[in-house]
Structure 1
């Protein structure tokens, strides 16, 4: 089995299983998820900054997905793309994680590639991208025997149909599925070339209370096209296509509501004039 080497282990998250597990246990200790026990979540939205900044939120969402029966496959939607970008997928091989390799659901990937055109990546030819990779250690830790299918999803109105088709194909082949969409929220400040409210406390309040809130409300409304419009039009998500895909897939899997588990910004850990928003959402 060809394995795609991790590009961010040892920098954005720990490279050893022992260190990863210590962080995961600490992340779980920060949340209060006892009220989630017994509920069935089919998908979620996670952030993808380094674990120091947003790992706790991503961990808690993926842990929530593990509280019910494990699926055969977890679909992860991500990548930093533009409205005109192609779809991306690695249809064969496996992903390296500190806890062992995560194999690709190659049968499902092959069926999906017959329906849509993808830029194909391989374990040796790919664009390093944190949006998907940073979720994989959590997935491997909580779902030891699962396979994955990772899709680079551009913020285009046609993208949610890919997620809906993926759900249909999984049903046709008798595979159970859960979904994860990876996106950070507003990237604010001179570091990101986005300063419509200047700097200081008023800018932080605008991001947390207005701009990020707009995007979160679209996610909780489970409105895929509205999610894309928000991300593209208001710069309040870097991967709105991934979030829209996860919502479309979750709805196709029967989800009827979303719940925000946590919200934070990088400013909470490292105060400064440039900062990024993060949210964790689950769908049931």
Structure 2
């Protein structure tokens, strides 16, 4: 069986299991995190969430808000969508089979549904190479392993093509899979990159307003008009489309902050948001 070994352990998050568990705990208890440890007592059905994907010291507390929100769910399958930062491999790619390894253990790829989503949407190709170097999906996995004690599988999707047309197809394909299996959807994206803190807050506020209104057309319009440098905009849009197809009627901003809010260096920051679709 093919093993997708960690690409960013020791960089984006600790490489030993003990240090990693401690780091995740600190993210949950951080002042920008939920301030408490999972599981959540709230069993409201959440269809999907948006999570950041920077190093845990920067974005981990914001991501922890999304993971706390879904911690009482028991999905069989977690579909994770993110941007291909390296631009390698296919325009849109999943994996046919294998496991993703983290310092906390292995998570199996849902081979059956990877093949199925490729049949539903031919632009989603089966290509392991596309996934070899990127961090955007990998950093979600230890969080998932910590909040879920039950066994689950993943369907990883990584995007070079984040266009409006592509994300509509991808989102609808994700929804078809989610209708046949108990599924959680995670859209992996950071928001504004390397701008002054106040500017990042203003840019991201506009884009988040489109997300929470579930308006994909408005989302792309603001993205283009304001030139918001959100790296995983296609992952956000795909998640929005899939969740709407699955009956989401609202989106909730759980937490927003920048790396500057967290570290104190506000000269050049990256924005992070935790958003849940219900």
With structure 2 as the length reference, what TM-score do the two structures score?
0.87
The 8 Å contact of residues 118 and 125 in structure 2, kept in 1 or not, is answered as no
Q: Which residue of 2 aligns with 1:152?
A: 158
| Unaligned 5+ runs, structure 2 | none
Q: 1:14: Cα distance to partner?
A: 1.1
State how 1:45-60 maps to structure 2 within 5 Å: 45-60=50-65
Partners of 2:141 and 2:101 in 1: how far apart?
A: 8
Q: Which residue of 2 aligns with 1:275?
A: 269
State how 1:133-144 maps to structure 2 within 5 Å: 133-143=138-148, 144=150
Partners of 2:130 and 2:187 in 1: how far apart?
A: 23
Partners of 2:127 and 2:193 in 1: how far apart?
A: 28
The alignment partner of 1:48 has SS state of: coil
The alignment partner of 1:218 has SS state of: helix
Q: 1:126 to 1:39 in 2, by over 3 A?
A: closer
Give structure 1 regions of 4+ aligned residues with deviation exceeding 3 angstroms. 32-36, 124-127, 228-233
Q: 1:230 to 1:236 in 2, by over 3 A?
A: farther
State how 1:100-249 maps to structure 2 within 5 Å: 100-114=105-119, 115-122=121-128, 126-143=131-148, 144-153=150-159, 154-158=161-165, 159-171=167-179, 174-189=180-195, 203-208=196-201, 210-233=202-225, 234-249=227-242
The 8 Å contact of residues 40 and 70 in structure 2, kept in 1 or not, is answered as no
With structure 1 as the length reference, what TM-score do the two structures score?
0.85
More deviation in 71-80 or 154-163? Answer: 154-163
| Unaligned 5+ runs, structure 1 | 190-202
Superimposed CA distance per residue, residues 189-239 of structure 1 (whole angstroms, 9 cap, x where no aligned partner): 4xxxxxxxxxxxxx432321x211111111111123333343344224111
| RMSD (CA atoms) | 2.2
State how 1:35-74 maps to structure 2 within 5 Å: 37-68=42-73, 70-74=74-78
Q: 1:63: Cα distance to partner?
A: 2.5
